[in-house]
Amino acid sequence: MADQTSEFDPERVVVRDKRRLDPETGEVKAQEEPAAGEVPPPAEAEAVPAPDPVAELTETLQRVQAEYSNYRKRVERDRVAMVEQATGSLLSQLLPLLDDVERARQHDDLSGAFKTVGEGLEAVAGRLGLEKFGSAGEPFDPQVHEAVMQAAPDPTFDVATCAQVLRPGFRVGGRVLRPAQVAVAEPGGDPVAAPAVDAQL
């Protein structure tokens, strides 16, 4: 205890009156400038503005609306995909019947009640979006055509071409249900010599 008393230096003790009002006069005291070498007292922390509940709720509402809009778009996209898939599956099973109707038409056997049923079936398939494709003379496209035989080269062609359609293809909504089976003619041959070859045939 004696050692602590001996180290005490009364000159180092500084007492400051931080009251803003003078206790004797009641007037506001002028702020004192810190003396040279003294560290000024820390400034009072600036008041942080309270969060605006309206802005927070508006932001939350906008976020929820965006999420709900994305959810609705995703559900609608999935619904359309499911409908297209179910329609394509149904129409794929009807393709053999449509082939039979077309063969009967080619042999003049499409008449009477069978004609009514056949044309009704084709009309229903058309309303469901079924589209027939494949015709002779169009460029060969491996995405929609299936080459089942090779035809004689044709000098008038610049690209591989469908020389004959053996079985038409069908698609719905841009999706190929069945490729068209075709005979493919490659470009080539001599245009001048071609008639002589035909004459020999």
Q: What tens digit of pLDDT does each residue of 44-69 get?
A: 555 566 678 888 999 999 999 999 99
> Could you report how far apart the first and last alpha carbons of the chain are, in Å?
134
Question: What local confidence, expressed as pLDDT, does residue 27 receive?
Answer: 73
Question: What local confidence, expressed as pLDDT, does residue 193 receive?
Answer: 41
Q: What average pLDDT score do residues 77-93 get? A: 92
134 half-sphere exposure, CB direction, 13 A CA radius: 25
Yes or no: say if 131 and 95 are a contact pair by the CB < 8 Å rule.
no
- Residue 130: pLDDT band by 50, 70, 90 thresholds? very high
Question: What local confidence, expressed as pLDDT, does residue 72 receive?
Answer: 95
Quote the CA–CA distance of 114 and 134 in Å, as a whole number. Answer: 25
Most confident of 8-12, 42-46, 166-170, 189-193: 166-170
Cβ burial, residue 161 (10 Å; 0-12/13-18/19+): buried
Alpha helices in the chain (DSSP H): 2-7, 53-106, 112-127, 194-200
pLDDT at 22 over 60: yes
